[in-house]
Structure 1
């Protein structure tokens, strides 16, 4: 049972990391290369779509990591799982305090109602997101390292 939980956790966290990495280094650079109206509309649409999915993925990853740590408490590598879970908590806190407020504004914007500083706000979101991706990669690496 524990090995199934370990694999499931690593797969779920790994897919989340892949998704967030893709947003940072593939999707947003593509959108940023488009004309301003298309950039803004694409990012707003992405914010709406991913804003619905990601909370479940983040919380699910955290719950799976916590259950793994509890189930394997006496096994070697549990410390790595605990640190990985702590990093997932950091990513959730970062999301709630730094990224979600910007995303909640940006997902409602249109070319007609966006603020003058919309690009600066999107750039701020990107910078915070790069840090979050680094935290997620570290959490994922720790979880993989904890596998027997």
Structure 2
């Protein structure tokens, strides 16, 4: 078995290389172990390779696994540590509200936008949309009931 002979001969080199690119002994061991697992899963690719090509393959896999590890860690750290939980919840609530608003009829959306985004009262909204203030209040009330119901 070629993988086993490469392991016996070059394992220390693989670990030294992994330590040099990670700076962490534990991560280095994990990367090398991942490379061995991949090698055993794909042993057939080594049939036409010589020992040095296999060694090169291991170095490449170790390097690529380290890049994958760094990307994964950066995503987790970026999401977990850089964004306060309140902002995440606020963002989620905003997305839910936008989806709920989009489900309303267009006239109701217009009334809600004018009321809450532009801070217009029912008389002003009525003038803008060409309807009576009582119709505006009625639609506003109906829209708010629909939103509450869907929450």
- How would you bin the TM-score normalised by the shorter chain? under 0.3
Q: Which has the higher contact order (CA 8 A, sep 6+)?
A: 1
Give the TM-score taking structure 2 as reference length. Answer: 0.27
Give the TM-score taking structure 1 as reference length. Answer: 0.28
Larger radius of gyration: 2
